[in-house]
Structure 1
C-alpha cells in the first residue's frame, strides 16, 4: 500500500481515506470536498503522459467528436446568449484544447472566438495573460494534479460574470467507482463528484449547474456596480 497522501490536492484537507484500490493504483477520497485523487507517487511522468495523449486523433472532420464536444458547447452557448451582447463580442479560452483544438472550431461555427491553450500542443502562454468571458475544459480537469492551483488560475483568467464549463465524468459511489472504466486511464488522477463541484462553488461563491451526467457549468459573480448610488 502506498503512503497516505499528505493532503487533498483541491482543498488541502488532511482528512483522506482509502476509497479504492486496483491492480495499478490507489485512490483516496477527501472527507471535506469529496475529491477522489491518486497519490503523486503513482502519477505518470510528463513524457509518459504525453505519449498517452499522442494516441488521440480528434479532428473537426469527425462528426462524432463534434457531437461529443457539443454536449458541453451547446448548453454553454445558451448561457452566453443571455449575456445581452453579440456573440461576436464574446471571447473564450479552451484550456487543455488538445492537438486538434476542435472546440474553438466548433465555436467559430456559431460566431464565437475561442483562444487555445494546451500544455503540450498549444503551449504559448500569451493567452494566459488575458481574461475571458468563458473558459472550457473538456476532459481536462481529471488530468490536473494540482487542483487548487488550477482553480486559482481559472479564477484569474475568468472575467466577473463569466462562465466556466467543465466536462468530466463524475464519481457516483464507492461500488460504482471500483467498476468504473474511467479510473483506468493512467492519465486520470483527480475525480470529481456532484458534491465536489457544489463544495467548490460554495467556496468560491459561484453559481453551479450540473448539466447532464458529465457537464458542469459554473458562473463567477458579476463585479459590483460601482456606479450605483449609495444609500
Structure 2
C-alpha cells in the first residue's frame, strides 16, 4: 500500500505510520499501522454544521420499543456490573437520551454530555461509577483524547461501556453500510480496542458484535497522559 502523502497523525495513538486502506466515491480511508484504527481523511470530513444537520434529521423517540431493545444490548451487561445506586455519565447522549432514561429507571443517576445537545463541560470534571458511550466513538476525530478523558474521570474498577460496529477486514469494509454514514469517521476493530486496553491498562471485554467494556485496573490512575 502507498504511504500517506498527506502528513497526518492517527487520532487514536498519534502515530504517523498511516497507509491507504480503502477509497470509495466520496471518501478516502487510512489505517494506522500502530493501533489499526481506520479513519476518514481529515480533508474529507463534514463541518460541524453539516454534521449537526444530519443529527437533527434523526428521529429520537424515547418510547421506541425497537430502540430500547437495541440499547438493552449494552444496558444489561452494564447493569450486571453496577451496584445500586451508582452515578454515571452518558457521553454523547444526543437529543433523545434514552439510555440515560433506562438507567434512571434502574435507579442509577446519570449526567449528560453531548457536544451539540448537552454541551455542559462541567460534568466532565466530576468522577463516575460508570460511563456509557453508545454509537459515539465512530463520530470522533481524536478518539485517543476522548478515551483518555473518559477513563480519567472513572473511579477505579469502574466500567466504560461502548457500542460501535467493528471493522472485520478490508473485503467486508468495501460493502460495509456503517462506513457510508458521513458522520462516521473513526472505525475500530478488535485489534484497535486491544491496543486501547494495553495503552490505558484496562480489562477488555467484547460482548456480542458491537458492545465493548473497558474496566480500569487499580494501576490505571491518570494513565494515558
Do these two structures clear the TM 0.5 threshold for a shared fold by scoring above it? yes
The size of the alignment, in residue pairs, is 218
Q: Which residue in the other structure is 1:168 paired with?
A: 164
1:115 aligns with 2:117: no
Q: Which residue in the other structure is 1:35 paired with?
A: 37
Note if contact 1:142-1:190 (Cα within 8 Å) is conserved in structure 2. yes
Which of 179, 193, 215 is equivalent to 2:211? 215
Note if contact 1:162-1:222 (Cα within 8 Å) is conserved in structure 2. no
TM-score, with length taken from structure 1: 0.90
- 1-structure distance, mates of 2:37, 2:177: 18
Tell me how far 1:188 sits from its aligned partner.
0.3
Q: How far does the alpha carbon of each residue in 1:89-140 deviate from its partner, in whole angstroms, 9 at most, with x for none?
A: x111000001011111111111111111111111122211101011111000
Q: Give the unaligned 5+ runs of structure 2.
A: 221-225
| 1:141-180 pair list within 5 angstroms | 141-180=137-176
- 2-structure distance, mates of 1:19, 1:223: 35
- 2-structure distance, mates of 1:42, 1:205: 33
Note if contact 1:170-1:192 (Cα within 8 Å) is conserved in structure 2. yes
Could you say which structure has the larger radius of gyration? 1
Q: How far does the alpha carbon of each residue in 1:16-48 deviate from its partner, in whole angstroms, 9 at most, with x for none?
A: 111110000010111110100112111100100
- 2-structure distance, mates of 1:22, 1:172: 18
Q: Which residue in the other structure is 1:7 paired with?
A: 9
Instruction: After superposing the two structures, state which structure 1 stretch, 119-128 or 191-200, moved more.
Output: 119-128
Which of 86, 89, 94 is equivalent to 1:93? 89
Q: How far does the alpha carbon of each residue in 1:60-101 deviate from its partner, in whole angstroms, 9 at most, with x for none?
A: 210111111111111111122xxxx4x12x111000001011
Tell me how far 1:157 sits from its aligned partner.
1.8
- 2-structure distance, mates of 1:223, 1:14: 28
Which of 48, 68, 71 is equivalent to 1:69? 71
Q: How far does the alpha carbon of each residue in 1:161-191 deviate from its partner, in whole angstroms, 9 at most, with x for none?
A: 1100010000000000011010000000000
- 2-structure distance, mates of 1:201, 1:188: 22
Note if contact 2:131-2:161 (Cα within 8 Å) is conserved in structure 1. yes
Runs of 4+ in 1 over 4 A off after TM superposition: none
- 1-structure distance, mates of 2:25, 2:115: 29
1:48 aligns with 2:44: no
- 2-structure distance, mates of 1:199, 1:168: 16
TM-score, with length taken from structure 2: 0.93
- 1-structure distance, mates of 2:175, 2:79: 34
Q: Which residue in the other structure is 2:187 paired with?
A: 191
